[in-house]
Chain A
Amino acid sequence: MKTDFCESLVKQLIDSGIPGRNIAVEITERRQLANLAEARSRLLCLADAGIDIKIDDAGTGFGGFSYVQELPVSTLKIDKMFVDTLRTEGDAKRPVLDAIIHFARASGLSTIAEGVETNQQVDYLVKAGVHAIQGYVYSRPMSAEKLVSWMKEHEMETPGIITGSR
């Protein structure tokens, strides 16, 4: 009855004619990856279809980062918990944020900061090399229709940008 997540996703992509590069899958490390070999083979299945794989809530789990290098992962998503440390000076978790960013750069991984709420946070993150920003500073989650109209509005407000250029 149940089918494999990867196989069913790939089949749906083929059926709808959508290339795999339009899709990314975020896996959370909140639960430990008990069977690394199993996880690896499943993620390779996705990667083979051109699907990008991102680690969600990076740094909040128990596994550390050692496993990341064994998995076909392209991006670390930095959890709001660490982005929040930019609100207060001398926050104890700030070094962890810096360490995650440093680790990502050293490992050739991209980064996305989640839960970004202020322009000050954006400035800090951009300076630190985290260019991809997600959070209320730009928009809350919204429906697909809203996203389309938000895009138009956003393009008008920031002339000259080409969406999806990267």
Chain B
Amino acid sequence: MVFGKGKARRGCLDPVFSVQRSISSRPMRRLSATDMPATLAASTCVLVFAMCFFSLGSMTRYLASRALKRQTNVLARGLREAVTGTRHELEQLPPIEALNCPNGTSDVLAQRAFDNPYVRWIGIRQAGEMICRSGLVNRDPGPSAHVHPIDDVWSVELVDDKPGVVYVIQRRGNVEYIAIPETMLFDFESSIDCPQCVTYQVDVQQPDFQVKLGDWNRVVLHQTEEAIVGRTRAKLTVGVLQRYIDQLQFEGRILAAGMSAIVALTLSFMLYGLLMRQTSVASLMRQGLQQNEFLPYYQPIVDGRDGSVLGAEAVARWYRRGKMVPPGQFVPFAEENGLITPITEQIVKKVLKDLEHLGGWARIAISASMPNLIRS
């Protein structure tokens, strides 16, 4: 019984030798998936980025332009009402001869300015001098005012150092009836739509900015379509130059690009991880099944007493692209993906084939998990 025992374990069966041989002859490597998941994830990243960027970008643009248009409409209507109301008031004023103006102020003018909600102040100017007005304070725009004629009778004047005031002027021969419309009360509540839109700052000196009040149905205070008219508490005429809108949109696009990049990268990383974990290995295994890549390896079972060989266990190996994939890297996935049954079938076929060469002595054990046995 003891015969051959020592020899059997110290000869060629020396474990160190066996390990070295196995390392040099069969280099194993980690299962590296093909480029498919990476490509898929990268294209998803690009696609998601494009979709996000496109939708966010156009949304920003849409919100900005909608906010601007809405404010333009509201303010233009307010301005139109104020100027129209003021103009009607001026048209109905009696001629200068009918007004009693002892101290340069007229009770009639004061009453009209008080009664009419559109009018804040009324004055009459003759030969450049204020001869009659609704209040004690002289609000004459003066000779330095910018005159914007509407027609032969009507004009609007703006003064540089009083940006909150518009003067509506009616010419009656050598006399000018001047009124200051009640300023339009409008608060920008646009911080939700467009956080940058609070401080629309008009610069009337800009060369591409013009005031046009010719058509009362369409009051445009800007030469471009994207113009906006408005006021803040300190300043009256507020507008937006096209390049400001461009800048808003540019900033919106940068923001959209950043958010899109974050969303796209996050999604594609998640997808990549998922693919690497599940789909890729499963699909590679399906490929491997088609390519007949699964095969048995045999570990001998030896009688420890005398070194005689009792049989061998067949273990699953995956020979993929010239490299051996260790079972730990595919067997758990195969069990998860229900591929263990076809893999076992493939291996069993090869075991039976090998048995023909190995001869009648061989006792080969095949591993079968219970699902293999039970599921039919």
Contact = CB atoms under 8 A, between A and B. Distances in A.
A135 B302 CA distance: 9
B299 A140 contact: yes
Given A5-B373, A24-B366, A141 B297 contact: yes
Contacts of B59: none
Contacts of A52: 363, 365
Contacts of A131: 303-305
A33 interface: yes
A26 B367 contact: yes
B122 to A, nearest CB: 97
Given A5-B344, A18-B356, A140-B299, 8 more contacts: A12-B349, A22-B363, A26-B366, A39-B370, A139-B299, A154-B8, A154-B309, A166-B303
Contact of A151 (B309, B310, B354): B309
B18 A136 contact: yes
Contacts of A154: 8, 12-13, 300, 307, 309
B365 A26 contact: yes
26 contacts: A2-B376, A16-B353, A16-B356, A18-B356, A22-B355, A22-B360, A23-B364, A25-B367, A28-B369, A31-B371, A33-B370, A133-B303, A138-B13, A139-B300, A140-B299, A142-B299, A143-B298, A144-B298, A154-B8, A154-B307, A158-B11, A159-B4, A161-B306, A162-B308, A164-B361, A164-B362
A125 interface: yes
Contacts of A13: 352
B362 A6 contact: no
Interface in A107-127: 112, 117-119, 122, 125-126
A150 interface: yes
A122 B304 CA distance: 6
B296 A144 contact: yes
A40 B311 CA distance: 25
A29 B313 CA distance: 17
Interface of B: 3-4, 7-9, 11-13, 15, 18-19, 22, 295-313, 315, 317, 341, 344-345, 348-349, 351-358, 360-376
B348 to A, nearest CB: 6
A79 B194 CA distance: 69
Interface in A30-77: 30-31, 33, 35, 38-39, 42-43, 52, 54, 56
* Chain A interface mostly: mixed
Interface string A93-116: 000000000000000000010000
Nearest to B303: A131
Contacts of A125: 304
A150 B300 contact: yes
A143 B352 CA distance: 14
B13 A157 contact: yes
A8 B374 CA distance: 13
Contacts of A81: none
Interface of A: 2-6, 8-9, 12-13, 16, 18-19, 21-28, 30-31, 33, 35, 38-39, 42-43, 52, 54, 56, 112, 117-119, 122, 125-126, 130-144, 147-148, 150-151, 153-154, 157-166
A22 B364 CA distance: 6
A143 to B, nearest CB: 6
Nearest to A163: B309
Contacts of A142: 22, 297-299
A139 B313 contact: no
Given A122-B304, A139-B13, A24 B357 contact: no
A56 B235 CA distance: 88
A14 to B, nearest CB: 11
B357 A144 contact: yes
A63 to B, nearest CB: 11
A19 B356 CA distance: 11
Contacts of B361: 163-164
Most chain A CB inside 10 Å of its own CB: which residue of B13, B306, B373 = B373
A27 B368 contact: yes
B363 A147 contact: no
A143 B7 contact: no
Contacts of B365: 23-26, 52, 54
Contact of A8 (B12, B304, B345): B345
Contacts of A112: 301
A44 B122 CA distance: 113
